[in-house]
Amino acid sequence: MEKVVVGLSGGVDSSAVAAILHHQGYEVIGLTLWLMKGKGQCCSEGMVDAAHICEQLGVPHHVVDIRDIFQANIVDYLVTGYSAGVTPLPCSQCNKTVKFGPMLEYAREKLDSKKIATGHYARINYNKTSGRYELLRAFDRNKDQTYFLYDLSQDLLAGSMFPLGEVEKSETRRIAAQYNLQTADKPESQDLCLVESNGSMRAFLDKYLAPKKGDIVDADGKILGEHDGVHHYTIGQRKGLGIAAAQPLYVIGLDAGANRVIVGDRTTATDPECSVARVNWVSIEEPCSPIRAGVQVRYRCEAVPVTVIPLENSRVKIVFDEPQFSITPGQAAVWYDGEKVLGGGIIERF
Catalytic residues: 94, 193
Q: Is 123 within 8 Å of 166 (Cβ atoms)?
A: yes
Characterize the bridge pairing of strands 260-264 and 160-161: unpaired
Q: What angle do CA 302, 95, 47 make, to 5 degrees?
A: 115
CB 277 within 8 A of CB 230: no
Give the number of residues written for the chain: 350
Beta partners for 31? 7, 62
Sign of the CA dihedral with 36 first, then 138, 13, and 118 last: negative
Nearest-angstrom CA–CA distance, 150 and 66:
22
CA dihedral of residues 67, 81, 211, 216 (deg, nearest 10):
-160
Q: What is the DSSP track for 6-73?
A: EE--SSHHHHHHHHHHHHTT-EEEEEEEE--SSS-GGGTHHHHHHHHHHHHHT--EEEEE-HHHHIII
153, 160 Cβ separation under 8 angstroms: no
Q: How far is CA 229 from CA 83, 223, 226, 250, 325, in A?
A: 9, 15, 9, 16, 23
Whole-angstrom Cα distance, residue 163 to residue 226? Answer: 50
Q: How far apart are CA 271 and CA 203, in angstroms?
A: 31
Closest CA relative to residue 151, chosen from 201, 89, 109? 89
For 23, half-sphere exposure in the C-beta direction (CA atoms, 13 angstrom radius) is 13
Q: Cβ(90)–Cβ(57) under 8 Å?
A: no
